[in-house]
Structures are given as C-alpha cells and as structure tokens.
C-alpha cells in the first residue's frame, strides 16, 4: 500500500516537475526594470460596448477606436481576469489599431454568472467578433492570454474568416495525463481549486509574476475582487478533463493545418502551464514562439514592453 501511495504521489509531482522558479536576483531585477514605467490609465476610463450573447447573458468590451485605423485587435484575458489585464497595451500599441478588450461572462463588468466553461467563453468571443465586424470591415487580430489562448484556438479552429492572426501569451496547451493522473487529478486538484475560490485572500496571483510590485498592485486592484474568482466549470471540469485536452489538441492541430499566422509567447517562470509543453505545441503546429524572462502574466510583468514591440512588428508585417 505504501508503495502504491508513494508512486501516486510521485505521479502527481511530475505534473509540476518542469516548472522553474526565478532566483532572488531575477526578482529584484524585475522590479528595478519596471520602476520607471508609469502606471497606465485604468481600463474603465475607455468607452464600453455591451454585447448580448444569450438569454440574460451579455459581455462588456472596453474599446478605443481611431478614425484612421488599419486593423482591429481583440484582446482576450484568461481565467479570473478581465479587460483590465490589457491596460498597458491600450497605451503602448500604435494608433493605427482599434483596440477591444473583452471581459467574459462572470468576469469584471460583464453579466455575473455562478459558473461557466470554455465553450461559453468561445461563444462570448464569437459574439464580440460579430459586433466588431458590424462596426467596421478591418482585419481582426486576436491577442489572448492563458485560458483565453485556449478558447481563441478553439474558436479559430472553427474557421471564422474574420480572424487574421493569433498572438498567444502563455496559453493553455494540451496535456496528456497518465492513467493515475486521470484518476487522481480531478478530485484532488479540483478540491484545491474550490478551497482557493472560497479563500481569495490566499493569493490567486501567487507566483504568476516575476515582479512582486506588479503582483501586489494587481492583486489589490483586481485579483482580490469577486469578479476575479475562477469559475469552477472552466478549471475543475475543462482544465482537469483529459477529454477536454484531447479536444484542445485537435483544435491546435486544426490551426496548424490552416494558414492562420500564430505567434506564441512563453514565460520561462510560468507556474501554470509547463513552458516545455508550450514549446512542443508551438513546434507541432508550426507557430513562431519566443521565451521571456517572465511569469505567467507576461502582459503585465517585467517584459511587457518587449511583448508589445514584438506584436507591433508582427502586425505591421501582416498588414503590409
């Protein structure tokens, strides 16, 4: 019995074995690098669209439109996030783009819901794309983080012609559970997630940033708020289900088989998605990828300016 329990514990440990933590020196340099960066305008200082999706569910989109824009950029947050994760991008991306930041149902200022899953969020994003294309017929590029990367790949694999490219920031990628992991992960990790949702003061941002200053700021302003609690359906059912990961793998492969340009930003110190698995997925679909000295929240962490510059260059090459 002890041998079985020991192996089961080891099998669960292997899920975390490839994560790397930043050294104290890396953490100090991260805060120093961001010390001269001024705080961005709050996302709620921009205009808002309210887009009906289904029944009593609607989603809000904070946006900035320009009269001489040449393309649209739709920004998609991850679990527990909201339009607020893109505040810096609204200030740093060039003026030639219309900028739109969705908040999924149950997040930030969108309709409150007790639960939701990835298919719900795919539906939210599809409704937003329809609304944007009704406003103008410019090319539309998706910039997505974490679980938003997964839902954007799922949506893109369905072939909407409006989507011109995908930029995936620390995206969730397919995982192949062992037999024991399939039996143990849902009940054990699911319970941990439920406890975390019940006790947000435990710090849902723990380890997701290299910059401790940034992490503290966003925990205080957004991550500790009720609208940032992760919905059980996304994590405990989708995120812990091998069936869902198989569907996600099929979606990634469909994207790879298409001609849709894909770029992936990988965080060396990601503690949510194993970086090596992200690299394997990127290579398997022929995506361009780069690794950054960052935590999971790349777009708010130490190398956010580098990410913006890379995206700007990529979009310029596509639009020329």
The alpha-carbon radius of gyration of the chain (Å, integer) is 19
> Rounded to the nearest 5°, which phi and psi values hold at 295?
-95, -170
Residue 17 covered by a domain: no
Whole-angstrom distance, CA of residue 117 vs CA of residue 87: 25
Q: Residue 61 in contact with residue 49, Cβ under 8 Å?
A: yes
Q: Is residue 2 part of a domain?
A: no
Give the CATH number of the domain where residue 42 resides: 3.40.50.1820
Is 16 part of a structural domain of the chain? no
Residues 122-147, mean pLDDT to the nearest whole number: 97
In a domain, 13, yes or no: no
Burial (CB count within 10 angstroms: exposed 0-12, middle 13-18, buried 19+), residue 240: buried
Q: How far apart are the two ends of the chain, measured CA to CA in Å?
A: 64
Question: What was the pLDDT predicted at 179?
Answer: 56
> For residue 9, is pLDDT > 50?
no
Q: What is the tens place of the pLDDT at every residue in 95-120?
A: 999 999 999 999 999 999 999 999 99
Distance (Å, whole) CA 96 – CA 100 = 13
Q: How many structural domains are present in the chain?
A: 1
For residue 188, is it within any domain?
yes
> E-strand spans in the chain?
47-54, 57-64, 71-76, 97-103, 140-145, 163-169, 262-267, 288-292
Q: Which domain holds residue 82?
A: 23-319
Is 224 domain-assigned? yes
**Residue 257 domain-assigned (yes or no):** yes
In this predicted structure, what is the pLDDT of residue 35?
A: 81
- Is 10 part of a structural domain of the chain? no
């Amino acid at each position: 019995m002890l041998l079985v329990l020991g192996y089961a514990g080891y099998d669960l440990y292997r899920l975390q074995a490839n994560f790397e933590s930043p050294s104290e020196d890396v953490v100090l340099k991260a805060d120093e690098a961001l010390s001269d960066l001024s705080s961005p305008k709050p996302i709620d200082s921009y205009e808002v669209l309210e887009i009906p999706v289904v029944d009593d569910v609607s989603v809000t989109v904070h946006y900035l439109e320009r009269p001489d824009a040449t393309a649209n950029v739709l920004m998609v947050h991850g679990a527990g996030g909201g339009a607020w994760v893109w505040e810096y991008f609204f200030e740093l991306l060039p003026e030639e783009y219309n900028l739109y930041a969705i908040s999924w149902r149950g997040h930030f200022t969108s309709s409150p819901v007790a639960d939701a899953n990835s298919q719900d969020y795919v539906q939210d994003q599809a409704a937003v794309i329809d609304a944007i294309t009704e406003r103008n017929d410019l090319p539309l590029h998706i910039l997505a983080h974490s679980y938003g990367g997964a839902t954007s790949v799922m949506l893109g694999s369905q072939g909407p012609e409006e989507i011109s490219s995908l930029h995936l920031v620390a995206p969730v990628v397919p995982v192949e559970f062992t037999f024991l992991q399939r039996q143990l992960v849902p009940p054990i990790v699911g319970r941990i997630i439920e406890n975390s949702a019940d006790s947000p003061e435990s710090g849902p941002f723990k380890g997701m940033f290299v910059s401790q200053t940034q992490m503290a700021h966003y925990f205080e302003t957004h991550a500790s708020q009720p609208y940032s609690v992760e919905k059980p359906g996304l994590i405990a059912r989708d995120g812990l289900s091998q069936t869902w990961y198989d569907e996600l793998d099929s979606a990634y492969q469909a994207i790879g088989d298409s001609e849709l340009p894909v770029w992936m930003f990988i965080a060396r110190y990601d503690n949510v998605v194993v970086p090596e698995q992200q690299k394997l997925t990127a290579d398997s679909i022929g995506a361009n990828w780069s690794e950054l000295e960052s935590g999971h929240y790349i777009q708010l962490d130490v190398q956010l300016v580098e990410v913006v510059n890379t995206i700007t260059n990529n979009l310029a090459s596509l639009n020329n």
